[in-house]
Amino acid sequence: MYGVDHLMSQTIAFIGLGNMGGGMAANLVRNGFTVRAFDLAEAALAKAEAAGATRVASAAEAASGADAVVTMLPAGKHVESVYHDAVFDSATKGALFLDCSTIDVATARRVSAAAAERGFEMVDAPVSGGIAAANGGTLTFMVGADDATFGRAKPILSAMGKAVIHAGSAGNGQAAKICNNMLLGATMIATCEAFAMAQKIGLDPQTFYDISSVSSGQSWSMTSYCPLPGVGPQSPADNGYEGGFAVALMLKDLKLALEAAASVNASVPMGSQAESLYQLLANKGEGGRDFSSVIELLS
């Protein structure tokens, strides 16, 4: 539990209580915050209420009088409209804004600048970790903000995660998130490619794992999330590629990465290949399966 006595008095407006936001809001309640919840979906609101949040009728009502506003929304357009259409005009002077959604860097910087113009401080704080980490309060937050604003945001984010890392100024949380996930997408595909080829050459996959996991080809995709069933630790591969990190979410992050790369003329041939392969999987109707199922395309 995080410094409960100190936090009891803080009211958080939480907007977007879906798969991720629902668990995150529940952890704020558990850690002594008063949470005012708003979502467009009735089921999400009911769940938040059951977890101890107070449901309200609009994003504006949630923000009004709150010490901080946390948003966990699908994409940049939702974040932009929630802040411009509801939060900016109803938030109390001095309120802190924390957007934990994964969105494009340009929108994150634009919304942060718009908040600053109105006298508000804002952080972009996207997360690493899925629904289980959101429920368990073990997310990692990558935070874009100046030092003082990061300091204000940290106690709130710490109540929902195991690590809160300052990535630099506004937008840099999103930059860290997409660079990390572009690397993950590419290394997963490379790992799948190597396992598939090893088997075709006649190398036993377990033997290949035993060698490569302690050699220079080692990666998180291999040793923490092995794409082959029965090899390495338990992973979605052992569960028919169900659960885990969906192809559709990986594809979303890769598209954001390519958009950011184009905006700064960065050459990202591996990220681009990864996007193309995950698009192919999504087009085959596999968007809901775990992203390590890409091995089936390569076997």
- Cβ neighbours of residue 114 closer than 8 Å, sequence gap 6 or more: 83, 84, 88
Quote the least distance from Cβ 203 to ligand NAD, whole Å: 33
CB of 217 to ligand NAD, least distance (A): 27
First to last CA, the chain: 46
- Measured CA to CA, the distance from residue 188 to residue 154 in angstroms comes to 31
Place of tokens 């395309």: 297
The answer to whether the beta carbons of residues 69 and 43 sit under 8 Å apart is no
If the CB atoms of residues 38 and 241 are measured against ligand NAD, the closer one turns out to be 38
Residue nearest to ligand NAD (CB): 18
Residue 174: count of CB within 10 angstroms of its CB: 28
The distance of closest approach from Cβ of residue 24 to ligand NAD in the complex, given in angstroms and rounded to an integer, is 9
Contact 36, 90 (CB under 8 A): no
Nearer to ligand NAD, 54 or 206 (CB): 54
**Separation of alpha carbons 159 and 136, rounded Å:** 11
Choosing from 93, 154, 177, 200, which is the catalytic residue? 177
Strands 161-168 and 139-144: parallel
**Shorter beta-carbon distance to ligand NAD: residue 195 or 253:** 253
Residue closer to ligand NAD (CB basis): 170 or 198: 170
| Interacting residues with ligand NAD (CB under 6 A) | 15-21, 38-41, 44, 59, 72-74, 78, 82, 101-102, 127, 130-131, 249, 252
Does 177 participate in catalysis according to the annotation? Answer: yes
The residues annotated with a catalytic role in the active site are 177
